[in-house]
Amino acid sequence: MSGYPRIESLGEQIAADLRSTIIHGELIKGQRIIETELAGHYGVSRGPVRDALQLLASEGLVTRGRQGCIVSGLTQKDVRDMHEVRASFEELAVAHIVENPQLAPLTHMRDALQAMERALQAGSSNEYAQADLDFHHAIILGSRNSRVIAFWSVIKPLFSVMLQVTNT
């Protein structure tokens, strides 16, 4: 939907992997995360690991303390709250789209819906989750509201993994 694909930093790549392991329950609530072990696991210095943990802390998946990071995980309330926030963003986005229907990203929305349909027929929950996220992303971008788009970009990675889990 944008001109050039954005290249993720090492920290963002590590955060994506850790986010997935936390949401899938491979790293459990209360588990201590040791930066040096993660750095060794990913074959990087501690800098990208710190960046990753900072991102995860901003998403509420880990808490940072004097003794390092602890996995917070997601509660059912967290998941409900995230869906509520997404719904609020989309409500605002749709209001903007209704004001300027010629700017509506109908092609992207239609493409995402068709991809969701194909994924359902193929029984692919991961492809369905990605198409679902693409649909929501198109709505948000269609708002042309830079603040909504910026806030969405912060929660989108968490939503991506949540949709993979909840669509299975």
56-105, pLDDT tens digit by residue? 998 889 998 887 899 998 888 888 898 899 899 999 999 998 998 887 88
CA dist., res. 24 & res. 27, Å (int): 8
| φ, ψ of residue 32 in degrees (nearest 5) | -80, 140
Under CATH, to which class is 10-71 assigned? mainly alpha
Amino acid at 46: R
pLDDT tens readout for residues 125-154:
888 888 998 999 999 999 989 999 998 988
Going from the C-alpha of 57 to that of each of 48, 73, 95, 147, the distances in angstroms are 14, 10, 32, 21
Enumerate the domain spans of the chain.
10-71, 76-166
Under CATH, to which class is 76-166 assigned? mainly alpha
Who's near 152: CB < 8 A, 6+ residues apart?
Answer: 89, 137, 140
CB atoms within 10 A of CB 12: 16
Reported pTM = 0.74
